[in-house]
Amino acid sequence: MNNNHFQIWENCLTVIKDNVSPISFSTWFQPIVPLKLDNEILTLQVPSHFFYEYLEEKYIDLLRKTLRKELGPNAKLEYNVVMENNHMANVKPLSVVVPGNNPANTKNRPVKNPFSQEEPSIKNPFVIPGIKKLQIDSQLNPDYTFANFIEGDCNRLARSAGWAVSENPGGTAFNPLVLYGDSGLGKTHLAQSIGLKAKELHPEKTVLYVSSQKFQTQFTEAIRNNNKNDFLHFYQMIDILIIDDIQELAGKEKTQNTFFHIFNHLHQSGKQLILTSDKAPIELKGMENRLLSRFKWGLSADLQNPDYETRVRILQQKAYKDGIILEADVIEYIATHVTNNVRELEGALISLLAQSTLNKKELNLELAIEIIDKLVKNTKREISIDYIQKIVCDHFNMAVDLLQAKTRKREIVQARQIAMYFSKSMTKASLSTIGSQIGKKDHATVLHACKTVNNLIDTDRAFKTQIDEINKKLKM
Ligand code: ADP
Ligand code: MG
């Protein structure tokens, strides 16, 4: 029996060092501790299960060759995986026997789960099922394809960068690929198209789509259940990671920190990251600088409001997909009047369809004008403090300028309070702006007014009815 496992491993390392990059060497080989040599079986201790999988996937050929050189053709390798979830006192090395001299056995072989002795069916801590490679549900929506994503000037760069990434994930300069733009412009759709296409072209790669919110929840859960390492390793196993609405991680330092490690790991191993955000990376507030600077390593491509031509083509495509025929004048009418974003464009089409089927009306220009005008009025008209004052005074049959009068007459005070209350809930104006516009009052008066109105709503039914009526008038 040869006890000199240190020397054997040292010899192996000398060969390995010449065959891998310095970073890979320090990341993947230096942390390995040789434990024993028993006949021709060398046992190596690795820090985690993920580590073991990674070695098996990337370096098994190299390991096998070097080991055979040292120990002869019957050389075998065993791994000891340090249990990660337990406290130090409980660290129990666990052997995973790996037949290191059987080439057919080493590629894509299902990996034995080192925790399975204690947890026969490993509970999935992250909602997303599966911890083993190839079994992860990518969480992609099959409708969000490139084919369904209409190209226009508004999205050309983002789309073609996305296409390039899906053809060659991790292999382009677009890593990470950050897609940004206002809500409803197609960030989620495009990000998922990339995932779907990449899966189609590279079925062996693990793709995962996750919203930042879900990522955050999983992280919190992992911390609570004391399995942050599992969380990390799970994400570090992904080949193409898509994280949607990254701006939602703003201010969440711990999650950002963990994401930073995942990002680094994936990026260093040539894996692809695709992120979306409602703002350009430089405008993201509440994000760690070291994370923001990494976002800039790749490409940030923005999605803009579609122009008229693109809106027409999007509508044509959606109608075609839903199997309906729309006259050109209907499409033109919608495309001319619904200009904010693609989501609203879709919404308009759906309302139109619903109205026409529910009320058995013909789907023509007349109906389109009726429906779209209502929609546009609802979404476009921003309620102003002036408008609120007017509606409130109309309701009480009083002149608007009475609200500005220096008087403590009960009706006027109450109308003023109601106007303040609606201004607070329906506009983005600050308390002091509201106060200065309604009777030249200060912010404390506005705050008091809101409290008073809320109290009355809770205690006075007649008053509540009045408020509901005004509310309805304001929204008409
Ligand atoms: P975001 O994530 O930017 O808020 P989404 O990706 O959810 O926007 O897009 C909103 C809706 O508009 C989705 O139903 C999507 O399919 C559609 N959409 C956006 N851009 C396009 C496009 N270029 N072609 C076709 N549909 C689009
Ligand atoms: Mg989205």
* DSSP-assigned states of every residue in 86-125: S-GGG---EEEEE-TT-GGGTSSPPPPPTTTTTSSS---T
Q: What is the whole-number distance in angstroms between the Cα of residue 352 and the centre of ligand 2?
A: 24
Q: Are residues 260 and 322 in the same domain?
A: no
Q: Look at residue 355 and give its three-state secondary structure.
A: helix
Scanning the structure block, which residue is given the tokens 């055979």? 68
Q: Are residues 228 and 271 in the same domain?
A: yes
Q: Give the end of a domain, one of 85, 102, 119.
A: 102
| CB count in 10 Å sphere of residue 475 | 11
Tens-level pLDDT at each residue, the chain (476 residues): 455 888 999 999 999 998 888 777 877 888 888 888 888 888 888 877 777 777 887 888 889 888 888 888 888 888 887 654 433 333 333 344 433 333 333 333 333 222 223 333 333 333 333 334 446 789 999 999 999 999 999 999 999 999 999 999 999 999 999 999 999 999 999 999 999 999 999 999 999 999 999 999 999 999 999 989 889 988 999 999 999 999 999 889 999 999 999 999 999 999 999 999 998 998 888 899 999 999 989 999 999 999 999 999 999 999 988 888 889 999 999 999 998 889 999 989 988 988 888 888 888 999 999 888 887 766 655 678 988 999 999 999 999 999 998 888 999 999 999 999 999 999 888 898 899 889 989 999 999 999 999 999 999 999 999 999 999 988 77
List the structure tokens of 332.
Answer: 């033109």
What's the confidence (pLDDT) of residue 271? 96
Tally the residues of the chain: 476
| DSSP per position, 214-259 | HHHHHHHHHHHTT-HHHHHHHHHT-SEEEEE-GGGGTT-HHHHHHH
Q: Please indicate, yes or no, whether the overall pTM of this predicted structure exceeds 0.85.
A: no
Q: Are residues 257 and 178 in the same domain?
A: yes
Q: What is the whole-number distance in angstroms between the Cα of residue 322 and the centre of ligand 1?
A: 16
What's the confidence (pLDDT) of residue 258? 95
Residues 59, 62, 67: CA angle, nearest 5 degrees: 120
457 lies in some domain: yes
Q: Are residues 164 and 296 in the same domain?
A: yes
Q: Are residues 279 and 346 in the same domain?
A: no
The Cα–Cα gap between 335 and 348 comes to 10
The Cα–Cα gap between 338 and 333 comes to 8
439 is in an annotated binding site: no
Scanning the structure block, which residue is given the tokens 């139109």? 352
Q: Are residues 58 and 73 in the same domain?
A: yes
188 is in an annotated binding site: yes
Residues 6+ positions from 40 with CB-CB distance below 8 Å? 71, 72, 74, 75, 76
Q: Look at residue 41 and give its three-state secondary structure.
A: strand
The radius of gyration of the chain from alpha carbons, rounded to an integer in Å, stands at 31
445 is in an annotated binding site: no
Q: What is the whole-number distance in angstroms between the Cα of residue 246 and the centre of ligand 1?
A: 17
Chain center to CA of 262: 15
Least distant ligand from the CA of 341 = 1
393 lies in some domain: yes
Q: What is the residue range of 410's domain?
A: 385-475
Q: Are residues 197 and 293 in the same domain?
A: yes
345 lies in some domain: yes
148 lies in some domain: no
CB within 6 Å of ligand 1 — which residues?
Answer: 148-150, 155, 181, 183-189, 314, 342-343, 346
Nearest alpha-carbon partner for 33 in 2, 73, 78? 78
Q: Give the end of a domain, one of 260, 287, 302.
A: 302
What's the confidence (pLDDT) of residue 359? 83
Least distant ligand from the CA of 244 = 2
- Label the pairing between strands 177-180 and 272-277: parallel
What's the confidence (pLDDT) of residue 79? 82
Residues 6+ positions from 371 with CB-CB distance below 8 Å? 348, 351, 352, 355
141 lies in some domain: no
Least distant ligand from the CA of 349 = 1
223 lies in some domain: yes
- Asked if 384 contacts 422 with a C-beta cutoff of 8 angstroms, the reply is no
How many domains does the chain contain in total?
4
What's the confidence (pLDDT) of residue 380? 55
Q: Supply the CATH number for residue 288's domain.
A: 3.40.50.300
Q: Supply the CATH number for residue 372's domain.
A: 1.10.8.60
- Asked if 274 contacts 175 with a C-beta cutoff of 8 angstroms, the reply is no
- Asked if 165 contacts 198 with a C-beta cutoff of 8 angstroms, the reply is yes
- 1 burial (CB, 10 Å; 0-12 / 13-18 / 19+) is exposed
Q: Are residues 187 and 255 in the same domain?
A: yes
Which atom belonging to ligand 1 lies closest to the Cα atom of 310?
Answer: 23
What are the pLDDT digits (tens) for 80-102?
A: 876 544 333 333 333 444 333 33
Q: Give the end of a domain, one of 81, 102, 123.
A: 102
Which atom belonging to ligand 1 lies closest to the Cα atom of 276?
Answer: 2
**Residue among 153, 189, 275, 345 whose CB has most ligand 1 atoms within 8 A, to mutate:** 189
29 lies in some domain: yes
Q: What is the DSSP letter of 245?
A: -
121 lies in some domain: no
